[in-house]
Structure 1
């Protein structure tokens, strides 16, 4: 793990950050973060090290989170505050120009910075957020999770890591939940999310001159793909890549492909779309698809596999996305084309 450095914003907030690797600079901007705890998540650590083979990676904790000042003005957590954080980190790291990786909450901040200070932004990589942050927070699953912030901060961390972000494999799920839990306090998180609902930088999209790579990998219960499509269409120089899979993270479901996609874009501006074939289903998704192709209902599939009906529905949503199916009929047709799902005789 790299040594922690500290930057100070022009309004007096101290921020923890790290710089490591070699090559063009990529600033991985934070949402609710704890960069020290994130190094303990195997997939995240592998992503950091993978990126650092070709890039100079900059990580930082935003105000009120992680190793940065926790005592902050809870009424000042909008986009201007996040811009002050980014500017301070760039200045203290000695970076006049960098590519910004906007991730979830920080997508809007990356867009605003690129529009307001174009001379400092080489390229943009945007994942999981929206210029109008309210759109990224509308899905029912997200609303249900946010309702837990005040009620039970620990439960929110566990649910965000597993049910929402898909980190269901130990030890990744445990370490991810711990990173959430230690990122900040419930009052700061509540203020963060309340401020996020008011962030809207859509008017600044047309002023962004940096080439942008907009990435999307979410199921229908998370951020709808239409949000990413509208954002890419509104940016003057953007490419949208809809990644295969349904886990709403980068560098986990297909880490090698994600790393190559991001690294190629940051270093050379190339966008090579990842191959979607052959489609890789999990063993459980394969079981569900086989029973679906045999004509079983969701209830019958649940009974045969010993799982809940809503779990069957979740597996179906994931495999529909992976194979490009619009529903049961498409999925059955896909299964009938694949030898492994055909019944003998």
Structure 2
């Protein structure tokens, strides 16, 4: 895998999938290696995907300072990757928790981002809560896995550490897939292998940013932003994604029918159509 050096000297890795104009992709988790995003290649066939391994994950080195795992610090790693790729401006995608870092990068370095895609993004940076989380869970009550997965959600949310949460995550996983089939099961099982506990634990630690200030920057942003949520995803829900998109003057929301948190697994053609339409526009 190709590598580059972050501003603090940490060696970071990335992989390139496909041909065409680059789409720089930042994985979430938090703390999950970029491998789980590889399926996006089927939804972005006209693009080459640049899949970053965040520090301490996958083929990237652990940093000397654990404090650098924080959400705000990872913004600098995106800039180092842009420089390594030689891109004056880039199309940037952040998934899940990395929606925060991709969003912050786009607001702090607007001249470097042509278009921003936020897939199933966390909205922590802008202070938007998922108000209909319980309602979204309840809509899956007719599934045969429902009671077990509800217990998994309870255990996950109540776990005192990342390590304690891991057994519950796989149990809760069905809620985050539009279809709980073998492909979804395999994808969910891979999380424990792809997850870095220190990176996951450090991502939301010691946050100093003010969500009101982030929202104010978003209101002044000229960057086109596409927020994609899955119809069946409980976190974030479509309503949460629509609230996030509304913060941007050039924001738009796309809700993928029948999809969960990893919408490229359920219907790559539908996701690909939304990405092509958005990324193909002139800026």
CA offset at residue 102 of structure 1?
1.8
Q: Per the alignment, in what secondary structure is the counterpart of residue 200 of structure 2? A: helix
Specify which of 104, 112, 117 is matched with residue 112 of structure 1.
Answer: 104
Distance 1:46 1:112, change over 3 A: closer
Name the residue aligned to 1:169.
Answer: 181
CA contact (8 A) 2:33 2:54 kept: no
Q: Per the alignment, in what secondary structure is the counterpart of residue 268 of structure 1? A: coil
CA offset at residue 136 of structure 1?
5.4
Name the residue aligned to 1:145.
Answer: 156
Of 211-220 and 89-98, more deviation after overlay is shown by 211-220
Q: Per the alignment, in what secondary structure is the counterpart of residue 222 of structure 1? A: coil
Q: Per the alignment, in what secondary structure is the counterpart of residue 252 of structure 1? A: helix
Aligned-residue CA RMSD (Å) = 3.0
Specify which of 6, 9, 12 is matched with residue 9 of structure 1.
Answer: 6
Q: Per the alignment, in what secondary structure is the counterpart of residue 19 of structure 1? A: strand
Aligned residues: 259
Q: Per the alignment, in what secondary structure is the counterpart of residue 280 of structure 2? A: helix
- TM-score, normalization: structure 2? 0.78
Structure 1 Cα separation of the partners of residues 206 and 157 of structure 2:
13
CA offset at residue 66 of structure 1?
1.7
Distance 1:248 1:185, change over 3 A: closer
Structure 2 Cα separation of the partners of residues 125 and 258 of structure 1:
12
Is 1:77 paired with 2:69?
yes
Name the residue aligned to 1:34.
Answer: 33
Question: How big is each residue's C-alpha offset from its partner over 1:136-174, in whole Å with a ceiling of 9 and x where there is no partner?
Answer: 577467675244454535414523543434573225423
Structure 2 Cα separation of the partners of residues 58 and 220 of structure 1:
25
CA offset at residue 90 of structure 1?
1.3
Distance 1:189 1:259, change over 3 A: same
CA offset at residue 258 of structure 1?
0.7
- TM-score, normalization: structure 1? 0.65
Matches within 5 A, 1:258-337: 258-268=271-281
Specify which of 117, 132, 136 is matched with residue 124 of structure 2.
Answer: 132
CA contact (8 A) 2:69 2:199 kept: no
CA contact (8 A) 2:7 2:76 kept: yes
Of 214-223 and 99-108, more deviation after overlay is shown by 214-223
CA contact (8 A) 1:70 1:184 kept: no
Unaligned runs of 5+ residues in structure 2 are: 135-149
Greater helix content? 1
Q: Per the alignment, in what secondary structure is the counterpart of residue 16 of structure 1? A: strand
Distance 1:197 1:80, change over 3 A: closer
Structure 1 Cα separation of the partners of residues 260 and 218 of structure 2:
27
Structure 1 Cα separation of the partners of residues 240 and 177 of structure 2:
18
Distance 1:137 1:76, change over 3 A: farther
Name the residue aligned to 2:241.
Answer: 228
CA contact (8 A) 1:102 1:109 kept: yes
Question: How big is each residue's C-alpha offset from its partner over 1:237-292, in whole Å with a ceiling of 9 and x where there is no partner?
Answer: 1122222225222212222111121122112369xxxxxxxxxxxxxxxxxxxxxx
CA offset at residue 122 of structure 1?
0.8
Name the residue aligned to 1:123.
Answer: 115
CA contact (8 A) 2:122 2:236 kept: no
Of 218-227 and 233-242, more deviation after overlay is shown by 218-227
State the structure with more CA Rg.
Answer: 1
